[in-house]
Amino acid sequence: MPGMDWFGDEERREVNEVLETGCLFRYNHDALRQGRWKAREFEAEVRRFTGAPFAHAVSSGSTAVAAAMAASGLGFGDEVIVPPFTYIATIEGVLLGGGLPVFAEVDDNLCLTAESIEKALTPNTKAVMLVHMCGAAADMDSILALCERRNLVLVEDAGQALGAFYKGQSVGLFGVAGAYSFDFFKIATAGEGGVCVTNREDVYHLLHQFSDHGHDHIGDNRGMEQHPILGTNFRLSELHAAVGLVQMRRIEQVRDRKRSAKQALKDRLQAEVPGLGFRPMPDAAGDSGTFLNLFLPDAAAASRAAAELGSRGAGVNYWYTNMYHFINQWDHLKNLRSPFKMAIHHLGAPQDYNALELPQSQHSIGRLISLGIRTNWTDTQIDELGATMVDVLRKHC
């Protein structure tokens, strides 16, 4: 998944341009920066690729989720449907914004479903935080229909899914606001960074204001800018934006290489490993190609296969025991351990997080192993990797 696969002179040139001006701050100081606006250019590249009318760059994927929450009007006491399979930042974004996470099931597409969301609804449900996990989209037709019918706010965490589309539309653009991550391990990286996207101008203004202490960003006198709202500091530096800008310029090539390598491996495994399952995506043509997701017969087989593949140099993610991405390991969340009192401590959790029953999620994620697809593999390396995977997986299917 890392954007660092392609990293070189172009990124260095853009970073050096920032250093030459001495203006590392993304706003104001027009004369000092000599016409160089890396964050603006970065946002323009995101708009070009995704088709988003509005994009705002922030300091991380996590802050992008938090800003999207805030700009969507979600906060104190609002119950938000979330998945148990995601990076913990999704849940933190809800909690730190004052919301109350309500967990619903994911299926073999690794995302929430309309059915699971509806089963988790209560009279207090305000929104759905939909995560497009492992580089591909959720089933948007049914989820959008449900959100409209139930009057639910939809926010999209597409942190792992930049480059994914659903029926021609970029993920992140179906709800009120969406969030992408540009950390070191994503399809495109800024080192650290994130981008919020939206179709709505009013939401865009809330995003950029909230992310910079409420500044309205009108004019070139920062000390005299108006503050329409309260906010915080989620700003992206020009240095990070310079890297992200270059990465976005080549994202089509990166995605196409990932798709090609993934398809070659998938075709071979389908042909040579009977009993192996694959992720059933609702729009396979819109896949970003970041992961090849495989299903073994049961959790024991998946665990053994993941261990053997790792020992043979073909490392995969076994999310079921991963400390960051699956609810089984989130003891700090289950016990609401925080250095400060959050809304959930005051209002109470809407579920007993230590006694959640999520059998579909346990079944799906227990059987899942995921191979991160690299863009710098040669044909020979893909062939050798495929041979290793066939040899190992045949033993466990």
Of 38, 186, 258, 262, which residue is the catalytic one? 186
Amino acid at position 183, single letter: D
Beta bridge partners of 102: 81
Q: Three-state SS for 185?
A: coil
Tell me the Ramachandran region of residue 295: left when phi exceeds 0, alpha when psi lies from -120 to 50, beta otherwise. beta
**Would you say 75 and 99 are in contact if contact means Cβ atoms under 8 Å apart?**
yes
Interatomic CA distance for residues 391 and 273, integer angstroms: 9
**What φ, ψ does residue 395 adopt, rounded to 5°?**
-70, -25
Radius of gyration from C-alpha coordinates of the chain = 21
Interatomic CA distance for residues 185 and 115, integer angstroms: 31
The burial of 351, by beta-carbon neighbours within 10 Å (0-12 exposed, 13-18 middle, 19 or more buried), is given as middle
**Would you say 370 and 306 are in contact if contact means Cβ atoms under 8 Å apart?**
no
Is 186 catalytic? The answer is yes
Interatomic CA distance for residues 73 and 347, integer angstroms: 19
Tokens 């017969």 belong to 297
Q: Active-site positions? A: 186
